[in-house]
Amino acid sequence: MAVPWVALGVGVVLLAPLWFRFFRNLWTREPYQFFPLAIAAGLLLAVRTWQESDPGPARPAGWVRWTVLIPAVVVTMAAAGLDSPWTGMVGAWLLAAALAVGTGGWRRFRAFGPALVMFGITLPPPFGMEENLTRWLRVKAVQMSSRILDAAGVPHVRNGNILDLPVREIMVEEACSGINSTLSVAAAAVFYHLWMRRPWWWLAVTLPLSLVFVFAGNTARIAGGSMLLQGTGIDLFKIPFPHEFVGLVVIAVCLLLVVSLDQLLVLVTRRPAEELVGGAGAVEGAELPRRWWLPFAGIAGVLGVAMLPLGVKRIGGTPDLYGMQPSGLPQPDMFRLPAVLGGWQQMEAGPDQKSFVEMDGVLSRVWRFRRGQEAVAVALDYPFHGLHDVTMCYANAGWESVSRRELALMGEKGNGSLQHLQRARDEHALLIVSTVSADGRFIENDNLKGTLLTRFGDSVDVPMAFRIQLFALATSPISGVAEEGIAGLFQEAHAALIVQLREGGIIARRREP
């Protein structure tokens, strides 16, 4: 059996570049940082299933093996062609499923199903779909917290995802939305269900209720922290350790509630204990049939050899930009804008220069310009992991998009976006944004309009991106004449910053989008 294991080991090593990049990028997404525990849980389930299996060869029909193996091969080949780590992990999951079917038939596949489910939990949905869930949770958490504060008689004003208290504003960030604890508790609930071998319909009860527990806990954290701040002046939102500790307490309480709910179902259904926690039954084929490894080792080896040069290039030739400290990135002080630009006079930076400009990059710089009574802010912030629609950040701050159109960038083969925003009745703004990746693509609208294959390829692994934006605040709607002048300033500032990015070797020279 040494030959097949060596062959498979070589295949895994050669396929490792895609997997390495997938998990490296997944670690940069805080809501998914539970994935090592999910993988460990899947391995634990797999080991238990293997130990409970009865020895004896199982030889499923050839068509059964190939029915599962062919889709796995197609997806894995697509991952290699698209250079998509996410698609590569889907292919790895399908190959694992094909391995179970090929060595023990559908019965073994069902037996190892729980382990495959836990491995599948680590796969984020494509196209950043979890961001939609994050925004929804954040909006609902703020709305419910506001109602609790109203009932408690705490004076406040809800403005988008901001709770404006008399002492200060509280901005509900992504972590406070509950997305981190939601995914972690959901994964834990699924593992507990699988480990205890509960009926599948129980999961339809426990999983939704576990999410309700998390939502209630995070809402209580926001409302309770607001009441504590207003009543005593203790600001848990600004003190990292207490804030994180309260979040961990919320998760722990939710997990206890999940276990309690499970025990309640045991009492209600009155199912015998041995039926609920007994063995999964004998699984035929614990001893693998002869030469079972040939199709798997061959496919892994061929794909691995094909992908090895690309993997070496991507890992060895591209720095791990998202794991770098700010000191390892281009520093904001190296970027300059003229004192006078397109008739606009640069102003001295004030302490509140970033107060109304939404920036989520690791590093950033803001320039303020004035022309007559008009004042605007031009900002550069970076890096970003692919497309980061800054409109979401402004929406979370209470702004609504009134209109949006593309803006042709002066001297470039790409477009930015121009939007009119409104918040309340007397707050209006003009937002102009352009995002350029390290490989020279303008991606502000590129990813939004890309083909399905392009989006699959770019959904997880894309170059570092730099965002240039202009934000103009006004008390009335910005007229067409004023918009034209502000857009002209953006074009001048954008051109100057792009030149500096290219001459500094930070982004590639001009290329077709």
> How high is the pLDDT of residue 416?
87
User: Are residues 175 and 112 part of one domain?
Assistant: no
Give the model confidence (pLDDT) of 453-503 as tens digits: 444 444 444 567 889 999 998 888 898 889 999 999 999 999 999 999 888
Report the C-alpha gap between 457 and 471 in whole angstroms. Answer: 32
User: Are residues 134 and 89 part of one domain?
Assistant: no
> How high is the pLDDT of residue 317?
44
> How high is the pLDDT of residue 53?
65
167-174: long-range contacts at Cβ-Cβ below 8 A with a sequence spacing of 24 or more? 167/229, 167/230, 167/233, 168/229, 168/235, 170/222, 170/225, 170/226, 170/229, 170/237, 171/396, 171/397, 172/138, 172/141, 172/142, 172/145, 172/222, 172/396, 174/30, 174/31, 174/134, 174/138
390 and 434 Cβ atoms separated by less than 8 Å: no
- Domain boundaries, position 170: 129-280+291-313
In a domain, 390, yes or no: yes
Q: What would the mean pLDDT of 79-102 be, rounded to a whole number?
A: 75
Q: What would the mean pLDDT of 239-261 be, rounded to a whole number?
A: 78
pTM exceeds cut of 0.95: no
441 and 414 Cβ atoms separated by less than 8 Å: yes
Interstrand relation of 427-437 and 374-385 (parallel, antiparallel or unpaired): unpaired
Q: What would the mean pLDDT of 311-321 be, rounded to a whole number?
A: 47
| Reported confidence tier of residue 354, pLDDT bands at 50, 70, 90 | very low
User: Are residues 492 and 345 part of one domain?
Assistant: yes
**269 versus 185: which is more confidently predicted?**
185
Q: Look at residue 406 and give its three-state secondary structure.
A: strand
Q: Look at residue 415 and give its three-state secondary structure.
A: strand
Report the C-alpha gap between 100 and 74 in whole angstroms. Answer: 18
Mean pLDDT (the chain, rounded): 73
DSSP assigned state of 361: S
In a domain, 511, yes or no: no
DSSP assigned state of 328: G
Q: Look at residue 80 and give its three-state secondary structure.
A: helix
Asked which of 122, 145, 167 is the last residue of a domain, the reply is 122
Q: Percent of the chain scored above 90 by pLDDT? A: 8
Report the C-alpha gap between 406 and 6 in whole angstroms. Answer: 54
Q: Which of 405, 396, 389 is nearest to 469 (CA)?
A: 389
Give the model confidence (pLDDT) of 402-414 as tens digits: 898 888 888 787 7
> How high is the pLDDT of residue 454?
45
Residue 34 has pLDDT above 60, yes or no: yes
> How high is the pLDDT of residue 344?
92
User: Are residues 391 and 410 part of one domain?
Assistant: yes
> How high is the pLDDT of residue 494?
92
- Beta carbons within 10 angstroms of residue 499's beta carbon: 11
The CATH number covering residue 394 comes to: 3.40.1000
Residue 283 has pLDDT above 60, yes or no: no
Asked which of 96, 122, 148 is the last residue of a domain, the reply is 122
Give the model confidence (pLDDT) of 257-273 as tens digits: 888 888 888 888 776 54
User: Are residues 484 and 348 part of one domain?
Assistant: yes
User: Are residues 116 and 138 part of one domain?
Assistant: no
User: Are residues 271 and 182 part of one domain?
Assistant: yes
Q: Which of 69, 109, 47, 57 is nearest to 298 (CA)?
A: 69
User: Are residues 346 and 302 part of one domain?
Assistant: no
**What is the total count of domains within the chain?**
3
> How high is the pLDDT of residue 352?
43
| Reported confidence tier of residue 178, pLDDT bands at 50, 70, 90 | low
470 and 378 Cβ atoms separated by less than 8 Å: yes
Report the C-alpha gap between 469 and 341 in whole angstroms. Answer: 16
Among 190-199, 329-338, 355-364, the least confident range: 355-364
- Beta carbons within 10 angstroms of residue 500's beta carbon: 17
User: Are residues 98 and 138 part of one domain?
Assistant: no
Phi first, then psi, for residue 82 (nearest 5°) are -85, -10
Report the C-alpha gap between 255 and 251 in whole angstroms. Answer: 6
- Which structure tokens are listed for 389? 């629609």
- Bridge partners, residue 471, by sequence: 377, 431
In a domain, 423, yes or no: yes
In a domain, 254, yes or no: yes
In a domain, 209, yes or no: yes
In a domain, 473, yes or no: yes
User: Are residues 190 and 267 part of one domain?
Assistant: yes
| Reported confidence tier of residue 376, pLDDT bands at 50, 70, 90 | very high
Residue 111 has pLDDT above 70, yes or no: yes
User: Are residues 377 and 352 part of one domain?
Assistant: yes
HSE-CB at 85 with a 13 A cutoff on CA atoms is: 21
Report the C-alpha gap between 452 and 415 in whole angstroms. Answer: 20
Q: Look at residue 141 and give its three-state secondary structure.
A: helix
Report the C-alpha gap between 453 and 468 in whole angstroms. Answer: 27
Asked which of 101, 122, 143 is the last residue of a domain, the reply is 122
In a domain, 353, yes or no: yes
Q: What would the mean pLDDT of 215-234 be, rounded to a whole number?
A: 84
Q: What would the mean pLDDT of 116-141 be, rounded to a whole number?
A: 76
In a domain, 228, yes or no: yes
User: Are residues 151 and 300 part of one domain?
Assistant: yes
